[in-house]
Structure 1
Amino acid sequence: MSKKSFMLTSVFLLWGVAAGMVSPAQTSINAKLRVAVDSPFLASLISFAIGTLLLVLIILIMEHRLKFDLRIIPKSRWWIWIGGPLGVIFVTSNILLLPILGAELTVTAILCGQMMIALIIDHFGWFGVTQHKINWQRIVGFALMITGIVLIQHF
């Protein structure tokens, strides 16, 4: 790996870590919003609505448009359109789980689920991602995550 490639990969990894740090904060904040509005679903809606407004502003500033060619809809694979509903499941689950499990256990359980499906997606090359077969090192890494969750739960 070249020095430039290593540096670029390092920047993106740090970006990923920073993005990952947002999730527990978002979950904690949305759990408080749930209490304020007395509904996990309304809290999710408010969270998505505010996020949508921010995205509209960003798109208008960065791309100067809000439209796309609707003819791509019937030509595209059905699953490219389910990111929003999957986000609803993710955000609402976080809101519901945090008061029961706490921030740390909620995040580690969610992370475990993310790693499990990421291993499967990579292994089979689903959704057009580059295929990376499951091997014993990846299985050991996943087992260590499960061990960490058990330790967090009991201590």
Structure 2
Amino acid sequence: MKGSLFALAGGAFLTLQGVANARISASIGTWQTATITQFTGFVAALLILLLVRDAKWRGFRQVKPLYLIGGAFAAIIIFSNITAIQQMGVTLTVSALLISQLCLTFVIDSRGWLGVNKQKMRLPQFIGIAMMIAGVVILKL
């Protein structure tokens, strides 16, 4: 239940961030907006870390270097979302984003990439993705 609430909150904030970033970008540019967003996100995360005082830094050395670039993906995510929202609107952008996420996680789960447990994908999963794609096509009409 708690995970579902965090997922819903994350989705809502991702949408709000995308809209806000698109507005900021219209005034100062997309990469400038991505820079500001990354910086304010860093400051917010640092403040929360200092308030929570979760001192689990020892495990840092055990993290595979490949996973440490995950934060850098955010710059590409922000740029892509801003550009997509400006060109096709919030609804279609979020719909396409969700389909993209589902398709990639489908591949990651089915192949067991990045250390996740392999999951067997069945017909219901294929039908679900197909329904989402059909929904985006309908939204676009």
Length-normalised TM-score, structure 2? 0.91
Cα separation, 1, equivalents of 2:78 and 2:86: 14
Is residue 111 of structure 2 the alignment partner of residue 124 of structure 1? yes
Unpaired segments of 5 or more residues in structure 1?
Answer: 1-9
- Report the counterpart of residue 43 of structure 2 in structure 1: 53
What is the number of residues matched between the two proteins? Answer: 141
Q: What aligned pairs does 1:31-50 form with structure 2 within 5 A after superposition?
A: 31-37=22-28, 39-50=29-40
Cα separation, 1, equivalents of 2:60 and 2:14: 34
- Report the counterpart of residue 95 of structure 1 in structure 2: 82
Indicate if the aligned counterparts of 2:92 and 2:140 stay in contact, CA closer than 8 A. yes
- Report the counterpart of residue 3 of structure 1 in structure 2: none
Length-normalised TM-score, structure 1? 0.83
Alignment deviations for residues 37-74 of structure 1 (CA, whole Å, 9 cap, x no partner): 1x100000001101101111111111266x945982xx
Amino acid of the structure 2 residue aligned with 1:89: I
Q: 1:77 to 1:113 in 2, by over 3 A?
A: same
Cα separation, 2, equivalents of 1:119 and 1:92: 24
- Residue from 5, 16, 19 that aligns with 1:25: 16
Indicate if the aligned counterparts of 2:85 and 2:93 stay in contact, CA closer than 8 A. yes
Q: What aligned pairs does 1:108-123 form with structure 2 within 5 A after superposition?
A: 108-123=95-110
Cα separation, 2, equivalents of 1:24 and 1:64: 28
Taking every aligned residue pair, what percent have the same amino acid on both sides? Answer: 28
Cα separation, 2, equivalents of 1:132 and 1:29: 36
Unpaired segments of 5 or more residues in structure 2?
Answer: none
Cα separation, 2, equivalents of 1:126 and 1:64: 29
Larger relative contact order (Cα-Cα within 8 Å, sequence gap ≥ 6):
2
- Off by >4 Å, runs of 4+ in structure 1: none
- Report the counterpart of residue 3 of structure 2 in structure 1: 12
- Report the counterpart of residue 4 of structure 1 in structure 2: none
- Report the counterpart of residue 6 of structure 1 in structure 2: none
- Residue from 113, 116, 130 that aligns with 1:143: 130
Q: 1:47 to 1:112 in 2, by over 3 A?
A: same
